[in-house]
Amino acid sequence: MKLHYSRNPNPRLAVAVARHLGSSVTFVFASPFAPGQAETYRALNPGLSIPILEEEGRRSLWEADAIACRLSRLSGTGFWRTDDDEPDMIRWLSWGKANFVMACDMVHFEYGTKQRYGIGPVDPAKVKVGLDDFGRAAQLLEAEFAGRPFLLDSGLSYADFRMASFLPFNDVAGLPLSDYPAVLAWYRRLEALPAWSDPFDGLDAPQLPKAPLAAERQIHRQ
């Protein structure tokens, strides 16, 4: 199997899952929008986005959640739950992507993605919406994590990785995690996992372009 990846949030998530599970994959750094690469990757994913999982005898699989599901099933670990906890896990995947993850993404897009790739100035109105949404979602999670270490009662699952997918980039986004001690403690537990804290260890993974505004802002390094 080949896992095509980059250092951006969703590819990073897929690499972290593969590393956490000890999946037998070959990691291939990918840049589908680089000159001459589009047609190669269009055959694997018509949308040209990564991550992409190539597996002999099967159609290529794209989207981080689908790849995580496949790798978890192959590992037999239950990281992607298939028992009675599966509905609860999917509940958090669904809620997270529509609330906490989306809010993190909105702020990171303004301070990170746009600045890294020179695609426009920061939009303060969108940052405010993102921060407001982040606060509401983090407040809900704060109450949840006050009673257990991970999203599911049964322990660590893919839902935790997905919920945290933008937090490794908080040196740029500057989301106020320290305002939510239980959420911060949960994220510290994830950071204690080598596969999460440094999924690219030993891989050919060029750094992302610098986000110029990061050095000019007071960043909340969590």
- Shared domain for 54 and 101, answered yes or no, is no
Q: Which of 62, 108, 84, 100 is nearest to 157 (CA)?
A: 84
In a domain, 91, yes or no: yes
- Shared domain for 196 and 95, answered yes or no, is yes
Residue 2 has pLDDT above 50, yes or no: yes
State residue 213's pLDDT score: 67
Picking from 11, 43, 75, the residue at the C-terminal end of a domain is 75
Tell me which residue range forms the domain holding 9: 2-75
pLDDT tens, residue by residue, 3-28: 999 999 999 999 999 999 999 999 99
- Shared domain for 104 and 190, answered yes or no, is yes
Residue 105 sits in a domain of what CATH number?
1.20.1050.10
- Shared domain for 133 and 190, answered yes or no, is yes
Over residues 39-58, the mean pLDDT reads: 90
Structural domains counted in the chain? 2
- Shared domain for 12 and 37, answered yes or no, is yes
In a domain, 132, yes or no: yes
Residue 90 has pLDDT above 70, yes or no: yes
Q: Which of 57, 51, 56, 3 is nearest to 25 (CA)?
A: 3
Picking from 41, 75, 109, the residue at the C-terminal end of a domain is 75
> Bridge-partner residues for 155, per DSSP?
152
Q: Global pTM? A: 0.93
In a domain, 183, yes or no: yes
Residue 33 sits in a domain of what CATH number?
3.40.30.10
- Shared domain for 15 and 106, answered yes or no, is no
- Shared domain for 49 and 117, answered yes or no, is no
- Shared domain for 65 and 96, answered yes or no, is no
pLDDT band at 214 (very low <50, low <70, confident <90, very high): low
Task: Write the CA distances from 64 to 85, 161, 190, 197, integer angstroms.
Answer: 20, 11, 18, 18
- Shared domain for 28 and 130, answered yes or no, is no
Q: Is the peptide bond before 124 cis (omega within 30 degrees of 0)?
A: no
pLDDT tens, residue by residue, 173-192: 999 999 999 999 999 999 99
